[in-house]
Amino acid sequence: HNEYLSKLADTEALWMQKDINSLHQYLRTVIENDTQNISSALMLLRLVVLRQSLNSDVSSNEEQSQSTQLVANLLMEDKLKSLATRSMAWCVLSNAIGSTQPPDWENCVGNDCVKLTQVIDLALSNSDPNKDGASSPKDVSLRQSAAAFLYNSARIVSDDGNDGTELSEGMMSILLGCFEHLPEETDVITSKRHHMAVGQLLKSHKFGETAVELVKDLGLVDGETSIGTNDELAGLAKEVAVLLN
């Protein structure tokens, strides 16, 4: 697998589906059986989930989904003890859900299937600026990774194909959870990602109006959403305010 691993560093490299599948299988084996190297395997997996093959087929999504489920389970069951490893796991999930072939969360079979809504709830908990030790650099990095996952999830769920304009459970969680975090978040990158996640839902063609009404009904926005004086952040906060008017 060494040649594949070095090939991952080359963003221009062309991939066959069987090679990507083989890497997924190899890295899952490392993650499941070699605790010393979990962090390195996750670091590589976050690149693998972004690679597209020249001949995509059904198996591509199956491998992507299996790897995503494995990593989601590690987070859900609190099996990753270091903050750095947990941050890397969120990078894998964020990249997977933001990729051109997002994992299939709905059709997973087996006892340890994790639903997208469960992972969204955990991401909100991991990106909570009020938890103990929130100001440590490693916790800031964890919040940034979990917030990236929330933003990419917001992009997926805001385009979801269910009928009507009802907000799904996942959308409600992201919308309310991110708004809750915004006034307390001191890290600019995390705050930007929360603003972007909220904006994604508020401007959704299908669900935007319902989302805006919900935010207004619950009185979630009281003046400025962001603290801090960062220009880019102020711009995002203004955009969110405009969507709500």
pLDDT tens by residue, the chain, 245 residues: 677 878 888 888 888 888 899 999 999 999 999 989 999 999 999 999 998 887 766 656 888 999 999 999 999 999 998 999 999 999 999 999 998 888 888 777 777 788 999 999 999 999 999 988 888 999 999 999 999 999 999 988 777 655 566 778 888 899 999 999 988 899 999 999 999 999 999 988 888 888 888 888 887 766 555 555 577 777 788 888 778 88
Residue pointed to by tokens 């009507």: 164
**Vertex 213 angle, CA 207 and 219, to 5°:** 135
The 10 Å Cβ neighbour count of residue 168 is 15
β-bridge mates for residue 15, sequence order: 53
pLDDT for residue 150 = 97
Alpha carbons 128 and 143: distance in angstroms, whole number: 7
Alpha carbons 116 and 170: distance in angstroms, whole number: 7
The 10 Å Cβ neighbour count of residue 68 is 27
Alpha carbons 79 and 156: distance in angstroms, whole number: 27
- The distance of Cα 23 from the centroid of its chain, to the nearest Å, equals 22
pLDDT for residue 165 = 65
3-state secondary structure of 96: helix
pLDDT for residue 224 = 56
pLDDT for residue 238 = 80
CB contact at 8 A, 49 and 67:
yes
Phi, psi of 15 (to 5 degrees): -120, 140
The radius of gyration of the chain from alpha carbons, rounded to an integer in Å, stands at: 18
pLDDT for residue 194 = 94
CB contact at 8 A, 63 and 20:
yes
pLDDT for residue 126 = 96
Instruction: Tell me the whole-structure pTM to 2 decimals.
Output: 0.89
Alpha carbons 130 and 135: distance in angstroms, whole number: 9
pLDDT for residue 52 = 82
Alpha carbons 108 and 214: distance in angstroms, whole number: 31
